[in-house]
Amino acid sequence: MTDFTMDKGADGVAIITWDVPGKSMNVLSLDGAAELNGLIDDALADTAVKGVVITSGKKDFAAGMDLNVIAGMKQGGAQAVFDGVMTLHRLLRKIELAGMDPKTKKGGKPIAAALPGTALGIGLELPLATHRIFAAENPKAKIGLPEIMVGIFPGAGGTTRLVRKLGAMGAAPFLLEGKLSDPAKAKSAGLIDEVVADPLQAARDWVLKAGDADLVKPWDAKGYKMPGGEPYHPAGFMTFVGASAMVHGKTLGVYPAAKALLSAVYEGAMVPFDTALKIEARWFTNVLMNPSSTAMIRSLFINKEALEKGANRPEAPDQTVRKLGILGAGMMGAGIAYVSAMAGIEVVLIDSTQEAAERGKSYSTGLLDKAISRRKSTEEKKAEVLARITPTTDYAALQGCDLVVEAVFEDPAVKAEVTKRAEAVLPQDAIFATNTSTLPISDLARASARPDQFIGIHFFSPVDKMLLVEIIKGKQTGPRAVAKALDFVRQIRKTPIVVNDARFFYANRCIIPYINEGIRMVAEGVSPTLIENAAKMMGMPLGPLQLVDETSIDLGVKIAKATRAAMGAAYPDDAVDAVIFKLADQGRLGRKTKAGFYDYDEAGKRQGFWSGLATEWPEAETQPELTEIQHRLMFAQSLEAVRALQEGVLEDIREGDVGAILGWGFAPWSGGPFGWLDMLGAPRAVEIAENLTEKFGPRFTPPQLLKDMAAKGESFYGKTARKAA
């Protein structure tokens, strides 16, 4: 079984087909690269072969390098990584030069790439080394270099070739943002050469008529000048200065891959092409040996993919949802209806009035109209999706539903009422799910006649944009209900985590302390600007004050009152309440009222901090060290994640890390709270937590699990991923 095969045609064109056995998408392994190298040698040495076309035996070309292989390369150390990368560079350079005379640049054999569909990562870096790239007229195909999204950058020549092809400015969106394009846009941008109905035939025809001049890349020709100018050219100088500022502005220095990529581009632009490839390989090695890249690959690719494929799915028959009932057509219900209908599921959308139900359906209409205006959908697609949503007030329409998601107000009495009304008409084997962010699932299940078929499914808002779904098992929830929820989440193309029932579940349990810590600091006289920037400099997408403005301050008040009622004298957040209750009393409820910690203009755009903050909570003359603020914000979240694991709310650290990044944006560079604590090391983490406890109170007390790990020299991601204690 081989990844690459070659068929030499009678016309002199050798077709190399990439088709990895047992994989839905081609990924490149080191063994596969060695196979391709051998086939290229064979084709170049065979006088009967006039040229080569590299294509795929699958509907797509390739998904990139096997990231499991990349993760494994680190085991041999930096030299092994560098040697492995240089092996790829030599292979792709061999394809690029194609046997031509190094001085005259003549006598080479044309090599083209024929892309039937998606080409990502090495799946584009390989074609970029060929002499012409042909892509199929496939608007669903994606072409690009998304490596930056998982903490690395294109290290098999993609960085160097794309910059020399498009210039630093032209290549920036594809390298620094991981921008993906359909074939037509990829051609317009200069990533590929032609978009045709039959790329294999077009590539074959081109190979047969290509001459020596068609094979020489611009950077191998005399007099080559980089588009936009090299770093020491007046125009190029301004580009690189601007790029450096832009990268630091976006990453605040916490994402090593972006800085390394820019360094490889800058340094590589000042030397000959082959030397630039070595520089790229060195910076790629530097990034791959950084703990951040390991953590990001692990959480954002390997573990995320495992969870999406059902790593923790209980044994049960296929639970694909065919007809979905949604109770409540508000913001959440409408969003769930949209993503479900988009996935091809028939939806019954119920509300107390027909007008409200219709309004819920119109949410989908609005999103589809926006997609059409951006040329991402069509009127036909819109009609198909909307036809799947039936808005009604009639619970009898739930007959035949195999899953119901209740998304009414966060009121146990209201939820109990709709649960009973729905179960009265649902099939006996239907699963009932409640969408709640705070109410205990086991308590809500008391209203159900079938508690083993009752489960929590916590969507994040806005549903159409947020990737995470938190599935919550009540005390009596059965395995089929869990399987149903997981299969549903997979259908709507989101990432699930499964947790056990407890106050605030997992995500909100960690988010709330982060927000509260920021608010506490305001009350203490810490500068709000310092608080927000400290968070962003740790890689948090939003500071705690902006986050509470976005989620709404009155929601925080509501949660605080409910938590105080449940905890009584043990309630720990009086200092926080003093701030948010005062803001709420003044009508400052966050962005939705255009007034919160921040001021907003009429369009809802933030204008800066409310001037009254300085009056109500004056800034102290002496401000704390940046590191102390960052530790408070990060440990508020991370220690809570460890407690959730220790108490069995969280059963798998993979879910804890993936859930943290996708759910509330926990410092993606770190791989999540458990990945971050592993970077610190348990002993250091315990030391910091104990110092914070001494200064700020028992909320920073390190959990026993972390203390035990410190004593034993263990980590969360040791030889085996740690499960719940």
As annotated, the active-site residues are: 437, 458, 470, 508
User: Of 671, 643, 676, 646, whose CA–CA distance to 659 is shortest?
Assistant: 671
First to last CA, the chain: 43
Cβ proximity of 363 and 338 under 8 Å: yes
CA distance 465 to 488: 17
Name the residue among 157, 154, 189, 143 with its Cα closest to residue 170.
189
Are 185 and 195 in contact by the 8 Å Cβ rule? The answer is no
Show the tokens assigned to 456. 């929590």
CB 595 within 8 A of CB 584: no
DSSP class per residue in 307-376? HHTTTTPPS-S----SEEEEE--SHHHHHHHHHHHHTT-EEEEE-SSHHHHHHHHHHHHHHHHHHHHTTS
Q: 482 vs 231, 490, 686, CA distance in Å?
A: 56, 12, 35
Residue 99 CB coordination number (10 Å): 16
DSSP notation for 471-486: EEE-TT--HHHHHHHH
Which residues, other chains included, contact 56 with Cβ-Cβ below 8 Å and sequence gap of 6+? 17, 18, 19, 26, 62, 114, 115, 116, 117
In this structure, are residues 323 and 316 in contact, taking their beta carbons and an 8 Å threshold? Answer: no
Distance between alpha carbon 534 and the CA centroid of its chain, in Å?
Answer: 23
Question: Cα(182)–Cα(185) distance, rounded to whole angstroms?
Answer: 5
The pair of three-digit structure tokens given for residue 249, joined into one six-digit string? 């502005």
- Provide the token pair at 607: 């204008």
C-alpha 210/C-alpha 218 separation (Å) is 16
Amino acid at residue number 399: Q
Q: Within 13 Å and on the Cβ side, how many CA atoms surround 699?
A: 22
Query: Could you tell me the two tokens for 323?
Result: 């007809």
Q: List the one residue out of 322, 578, 292, 355 whose CA is nearest residue 427.
A: 322
The position carrying tokens 């690959």 is: 297
- The gap from C-alpha 454 to its chain's centroid, in whole angstroms, comes to 29
Task: Report the SS3 class of residue 543.
Answer: coil
Residues 6+ apart with CB under 8 A from 398: 325, 348, 350, 404, 422, 425, 426
Tell me which H or E stretch contains 64.
Answer: strand 64-65
- Segments of 89-235 assigned E as strands: 111-115, 119-120, 132-136, 143-144, 180-181, 194-196
Contact between residue 721 and residue 653 where contact means Cβ atoms under 8 Å apart: yes
Closest CA to 153 of 283, 20, 42: 283
Task: Pull the structure tokens for residue 530.
Answer: 């310092």
DSSP 59: S
Residue 556's CB: how many other CB atoms inside 10 A?
Answer: 25
Q: Half-sphere exposure of 677 toward its Cβ, with a 13 Å CA cutoff? A: 34
Provide the greatest CA pair distance for the chain: 87
d(CA 24, CA 685): 42
